[in-house]
Amino acid sequence: MALPVAFFALFFAWPVAAIVTRGLKADGAWRFGRLVDVVTQPDIRHVLWFTTWQALASTALTLLLALPAAHVFARLDFPGKQLLRAVVTVPFVLPTVVVGSAFLALVGRHGLLDELWGVRLDTTVWAILLAHVFFNYAVVVRTVGGLWSQLDPRQEEAARMLGASPLTAWRKVTLPALAPAVAAAALMVFLFTFTSFGVVQILGGPAFSTLEVEIYRQTSEVFDLSTAAVLTLVQFAAVGAILAVHAWTVRRRETALRLVDPKTTARRPRGFAQWALLAGVLASVAVLLLLPLAVLVRRSLDGWGLGYYRALTDADGGTFLVAPVQAVWTSLEYALAATAIAVVIGGLAAAALARRDAGRLVRGFDALLMLPLGVSAVTVGFGFLIALDRPPLDLRQSWILVPLAQALVGAPFVVRTMLPVLRAVDGRLREAAAVLGASPWRAWREVDLPMVRRALLVAAGFAFAVSLGEFGATVFIARPDNPTLPVAVARLLSRPGELNYGQAMALSTILMVVCAAALLVLERLRTDRTGEF
């Protein structure tokens, strides 16, 4: 645990504490009264209300649209199921900037709806809600569908034989068993939408602002660190409460049910109702998930040519110090470095947490590992500039600063992917290796590594995709001559002109293709133990 603890202390706790201290401390005295002053301001109350309201609405809408798909993946077997599973998961690994760009191309000015019917939704809350459903659809499908596929269907069949209708049997038998998974998925969706930044920044405009967007505005535009610090503390408290409830629901899911092999529960669709459900899910996936991506690709083409892609090689536009295409290689280099860091840090943490003799303090660190997913990435990025500005850690001019910030987001995914597999390794195998004279390192290399190799590759793939799309922290610390893809897309969208818009769509398409390719490789490596989030 030494290296993971040191890493999170130096590159997460210290930067966050630095910006909070800078904002709440003046002339050597703490200004805790500033907390009340900020949260009682009418505009801040509006931001808090909108952040909570849109997160609740996004969560409810995601559950409504994704639960039927979870049932289809859990109970029905049909051709192309694995490919469809990969397609459904693609939006989750896409950077939020790409999601915002895709919906901007669909519902924004000169978007598909605008051209066909003269309808624009980019300045309404519906664009944000639909983009959040697009992004979090896979969370519900994977989390709920993964458990649903392991529930014994004979229990529901017994209720049907005793006279219960299909709806009653589902409501009284299946739903109570699924409740922990539904609650866990809902909490994760709420967490992601509560801390939404890229989607709201692009689609919300000046009318809508979440806590994360307001922290960015107060930090980079208004330069009011005091207000930003208060909002960071509010978000930190909310995220901590969400993660505590999520940990409780996960423990219920792990201990309260007897599960069966998921390969035995899926059957070919039978009857009109099942075929209609399958058709409805396929239609919703096509409209909700595939259409925005298709429109994004279409908008990236100059007519039907590649003019916008060719323009990416030209640095004369004035938006960047280098050609925009350089952001592709910069992002790949940063993401590879971040993946290596995340795999080392997350792998060591997962190995420590998987030990059956781990103490309560070590197990408590498991919850802390999730905090970087919910704490303001804007705060972390700006905190890097404040905290890491003097020896022995003066990293403001170092290229490693961006991979370190990206690894903070990737490491929790590594832990969540590897931990169940490591816990499943029989400890007696290690003990037998030790009795035969193997050192702890050799026992891990000969016993654990062959069993967790596939999970390790999947974890590395998720860390790579997540690092590639990190935006909130990178927007502060990426150098002007080395922008990442998400930062380059955001800069292009912030400038007027058809060429800038087309280049933003082209870069978003490239980023989407790279993330989708990484996910398809993961699906080939996926096993039943490593296939869930």
The angle that helices 175-194 and 125-148 make with each other, rounded to 10 degrees, is 140
pLDDT of residue 83: 81
pLDDT of residue 438: 81
pLDDT of residue 68: 92
CA-closest candidate to residue 122, choices 111, 108, 105, 102: 108
pLDDT of residue 528: 44
Least confident residue range of 12-16, 181-185, 257-261: 257-261
pLDDT of residue 533: 40
Q: Is the pLDDT of residue 40 over 80?
A: yes
User: To the nearest whole number, what is the mean pLDDT of the chain?
Assistant: 82
- Out of 23-37, 224-238, 243-257, the most confident range is 224-238
- Out of 47-51, 196-200, 304-308, 467-471, the most confident range is 47-51
Sign of the four-CA dihedral 102, 107, 109, 111: positive
pLDDT of residue 356: 67
Q: pLDDT band at residue 227, thresholds of 50, 70 and 90?
A: confident
CB–CB of 349/369 below 8 Å? yes
Helix (H) or strand (E) segment spanning residue 505: helix 498-525
Q: Is the pLDDT of residue 392 over 80?
A: no
Instruction: Report the share of the chain in percent with pLDDT over 90.
Output: 16
Please state the pTM of the whole predicted model. 0.81
Helix, strand, coil share (%) of the chain residues, nearest 5: 75, 0, 25
Dist CA 329 CA 399 (whole Å): 14
Q: What is the mean pLDDT of residues 524-530?
A: 52
Q: pLDDT band at residue 262, thresholds of 50, 70 and 90?
A: low
| pLDDT 10s digits, 279-291 | 999 999 999 999 9
Q: Is the pLDDT of residue 52 over 90?
A: yes
How many residues in total does the chain contain? Answer: 533
Q: Is the pLDDT of residue 456 over 80?
A: yes
| pLDDT 10s digits, 61-85 | 999 999 999 989 888 888 888 788 8
Structure tokens at 123: 């300045």
Q: pLDDT band at residue 48, thresholds of 50, 70 and 90?
A: very high
pLDDT of residue 531: 40
Q: Is the pLDDT of residue 258 over 80?
A: no
Q: pLDDT band at residue 315, thresholds of 50, 70 and 90?
A: low
Q: Is the pLDDT of residue 259 over 60?
A: no
260 vs 462, residue with greater confidence = 462
**3-class state of residue 370 by DSSP:** coil
CB–CB of 216/378 below 8 Å? yes
